[in-house]
Amino acid sequence: MSEPEPSAAHVALWPGAEDWLAELRDQRRVSPHTLSNYERDLRRLQTLAGNASPAELTALDLRRFVGRLHASGLSGRSIARSLSAWRGLLRWLARRGVLDANVAEGLHAPKHPKRLPDALSVDEAFRLLNPVATAETPNANAEREQVLQCRDQAMFELFYSSGIRLSELVGLDMDCLTDLRQGEVRVLGKRNKTRVVPVGRTAQTAVERWLNVRAQLLKTEDEPALFLGQQGKRIAPRTIQLRLNRHGQQQGLPQRIHPHQLRHSFATHMLQGSGDLRAVQEMLGHASIASTQVYTHLDFQHLAQVYDQAHPRAHRSKAATAQADASRFNPEQEDKKAT
H/E element holding 18?
Answer: helix 17-26
- Three-state secondary-structure class, residue 178: helix
The catalytic position among 260, 278, 311, 328 is 260
- Three-state secondary-structure class, residue 195: strand
- The DSSP output letter for 198 is E
The catalytic position among 43, 44, 165, 214 is 165
Residue 165 among the catalytic residues: yes
Residue 263 among the catalytic residues: yes
Residue 262, phi then psi, degrees to nearest 5: -70, -35
For the chain, give the longest Cα–Cα distance.
74
Residues 6+ apart with CB under 8 A from 268: 117, 119, 295, 298, 299, 302
Residue 315 among the catalytic residues: no
What angle (nearest 5°) sits at the alpha carbon of residue 166, between those of residues 290 and 284?
A: 30
| Nearest-10 crossing angle of helices 318-327, 289-310 | 140
The catalytic position among 190, 195, 233, 316 is 190
Residue 112 among the catalytic residues: no
The catalytic position among 81, 263, 269, 297 is 263
- Cβ-contact 111, 262 below 8 angstroms: no
The catalytic position among 77, 233, 286, 316 is 286
What angle (nearest 5°) sits at the alpha carbon of residue 222, between those of residues 141 and 168?
A: 80
Residue 286 among the catalytic residues: yes
What is the three-state SS of 236-302?
CHHHHHHHHHHHHHHCCCCCCCCHHHHHHHHHHHHHHHHCCHHHHHHHHCCCCHHHHHHHHHHHHHH
Amino acid identity of residue 283, one-letter, is M
| Nearest-10 crossing angle of helices 331-338, 289-310 | 120
> CA 147: distance to chain centroid?
27
Known catalytic residues?
165, 190, 260, 263, 286, 295
